Amino acid sequence: MKFIDSIFAGLTCIICSFLVMSQENSFQDMLERFDCNCNMMLEKHELPKKIWHKVGSRDWDKNGLVDRKEYEGIIGWFGRE
């Protein structure tokens, strides 16, 4: 039983690390896809309306830009509709 427990623990660590890596890369992926002016921020005119509806609602400082800090605050929430 200890062998199975250690395998399960190892697989859990691997899965968790992939999830963390995908979250860390998601802002970079969004920049690569949508950041037209290369200012390292997401703007309303750069995103499809459906995405901006979710991303733009976290523009905490209301400057019309979503930076990495603001974006990372919505990672878990982003997929909900």
Q: What is the CATH number of the domain that holds 44?
A: 1.10.238
User: SS3 for the chain, per residue?
Assistant: CHHHHHHHHHHHHHHHHHHHHHHHHHHHHHHHHHCCCCCCCEEHHHCCHHHHHHHHHHCCCCCCEECHHHHHCCCCCCCCC
Give a yes or no: residue 68 inside a domain: yes
pLDDT score of 10 = 66
Give a yes or no: residue 81 inside a domain: no
Number of folded domains that form the chain: 1
pLDDT score of 38 = 93
Give a yes or no: residue 79 inside a domain: no
**Tens digit of pLDDT for each residue in 2-56?**
777 777 666 665 654 444 444 445 888 889 999 999 999 999 999 888 888 888 8
Higher pLDDT, 79 or 63: 63
pLDDT score of 8 = 67
Higher pLDDT, 1 or 33: 33
Range of the domain at 19: 2-72
